[in-house]
Structure 1
């Protein structure tokens, strides 16, 4: 198989755009929202480099690029909210790779755009890999693509404040059960409150999606991140010693409830990473991605790394 990526994000610098190297210069570039939208669909991901943006000058840029900033409701990654629907990109341990995924592709609704901002680059490593989601789909064996044709079933066990994974309060950014129930009913998810106060949620979702503008079919699910095989042998074995498959914080099967073979999960995870292009961060960089056309992950790093993320419909 040819694993050489045939795509990479478009890098835009002040010199390219003919503006001063400042947040004000970047605002001149992104202020033409129609042009940026067209460019984003064409290029799939845009990196804005060398504009000298800092956290205190970030909000006006976000307002232009993310017209309706969304809260991270029903998100499954550990994050901290640091501003107006602005979050740390992840708090997953820095020594691990985060495999490729499209944000909230397991949910009934997902953000159309993500904007990453590098407040502080890592000492070493810490790149954000990005993969063309249509290329990822095409890279999978026919057997795997056909097996996922009926979709997948996700299950979450969200604790009540003490346990593995996220609590239901953190996941839905509320402590009101009624708000959670209204949200889940609206998204046609199955849910049940457990005796210990935890919440079990099940959803059946498609494994691929079609982009509304380009018409491209893309790989669009998080089966490899929700399946124990995607965690690595040691982690999966440790979890199996303390929890049954039905008790895991999150798990996935085919839509009919049948198990997904480990070999399928490993192929999905590995080929997504094989086709990735790394965005090696400089402090002050921003990257805007179309969340359907491009998946993203994270490379391990050393030192202190702080990347913020916000999302929009």
Structure 2
């Protein structure tokens, strides 16, 4: 396991860094450190006890995420609530969201993700995080060998009425020309249909961190494959619709099916190796989106976690 099986996020508090509580003090601390080096070394940082509030979040976010990105080509439902700030995935509270690196199915992805707890759940609702190199190491050698050729992801994005997200929601534009330019730049194949837009793209199963060189598991095979779904409605949908008609699906790069047992192994071992970050109001979690994958535990009561990302 290369010694990283004991990894956990670094927790930073006013006491641990010798400053007063408050967003202003956190801004001062962040301005005086090499955040990139710290995040690369630790993979994930939890800022706890600073008392950050929604109205004091922006100055903190500007230092943690120097260039905030729009959630373009994102496949999960969420609401935009500020300047490239979104709600976390609006998926029913009773379901687990399995481990994944944000936009790992796309041609480009954010380098960092930031989560902010505005409302903590009554019970549950932790954000599990996992060392993505440890996740890769945990998988059986035959599975890793079979994934070495990469994956093909397919999306069917409707034109305003249908299952899943529309192409307008996915690309945050009403312009077909802008969508086509984005897809051409990403190397994807696409086709406009009577119902909307079909997108197909080949992607590797792993990637390497640009600084450390660490190889990590970096795909969303289990989230795009019916065997990885807990949602009963989604399971029924896969039974009554052809794979080519589903809102999203995945195969090996050559089009051959990915075995169900591979998908459950990927999902279950990622979750088993994860460390839960339990939320308190005002907490922030910053992760390196290549070195660290994340998910969500089920919860009860209200929960509002805001998310933003940066290159």
**TM-score with structure 2 length normalisation?**
0.97
SS in 1 for 2:38: helix
Classify 1:282/1:133 alpha carbon distance in 2 versus 1 (closer, same or farther; 3 Å): same
Alignment of 1:30-45 (within 5 A): 30-32=30-32, 35-45=34-44
Q: Which residue of structure 1 lines up, in the alignment, with residue 199 of structure 2?
A: 201
Q: Matches of 1:248 and 1:168 in 2, distance apart?
A: 14
TM-aligned CA deviation for residue 5 of structure 1: 4.6
Greater mean alpha carbon deviation, residues 186-195 or residues 4-13: 4-13
Q: Is the 8 A contact 1:127 1:281 kept in 2?
A: yes
Unaligned runs of 5+ in 1: none
Number of the residue aligned with 1:282? 280
Alignment of 1:11-160 (within 5 A): 11-32=11-32, 35-160=34-159
Q: CA separation in 2, counterparts of 1:75 and 1:248? A: 16
CA distance in structure 1 between the partners assigned to 2:157 and 2:147 by the alignment: 26
Q: Residues 41 and 237 from structure 1, CA distance in 2 versus in 1: closer, same or farther, beyond 3 angstroms?
A: closer
8 Å Cα contact 2:97-2:296 kept in structure 1 = yes
Rounded Cα–Cα distance in structure 2 between residues aligned with 1:291 and 1:237? 29
Q: Following superposition of structure 1 onto structure 2, how do residues 211-290 of structure 1 map, counting pairs within 5 Å?
A: 211-232=209-230, 234-235=232-233, 237-290=235-288
Equivalent residue, structure 2, for 1:299: 297
Aligned equivalents of 2:42 and 2:178: distance in 1? 38
Q: TM-score normalized by structure 1?
A: 0.97
**Alignment partner of 2:58: what SS?**
helix
Q: 1:233 to 1:40 in 2, by over 3 A?
A: closer
Give the Cα–Cα distance (whole angstroms) in 1 for the partners of residues 129 and 71 of structure 2.
Answer: 20
- Write out the 4+ residue segments of structure 1 that deviate beyond 2 Å after TM superposition: 232-237
Going from structure 1 to structure 2, the CA distance change for 1:305 and 1:221 (only over 3 Å counts) comes to same
Report Cα offsets for 1:191-244 as digits up to 9, x if no partner: 000023x10000000000000111100000000000010014844541134311
Superposed CA RMSD: 1.3
CA contact (8 A) 1:41 1:290 kept: yes
CA distance in 2, matches of 1:49, 1:69: 22
2: CA distance between counterparts of 1:236 and 1:171? 19
Shift of 1:28: 1.1
Paired with 1:32 and 1:203, the residues of 2 have a C-alpha distance of 42
Deviation per CA, 1:49-81: give whole Å up to 9, x if none. Answer: 000000000000110111110000000110000
Instruction: Tell me the alpha carbon deviations over residues 100-132 of structure 1, each in whole angstroms, 9 at most, x when there is no partner.
Output: 000000000000000100011001000000000
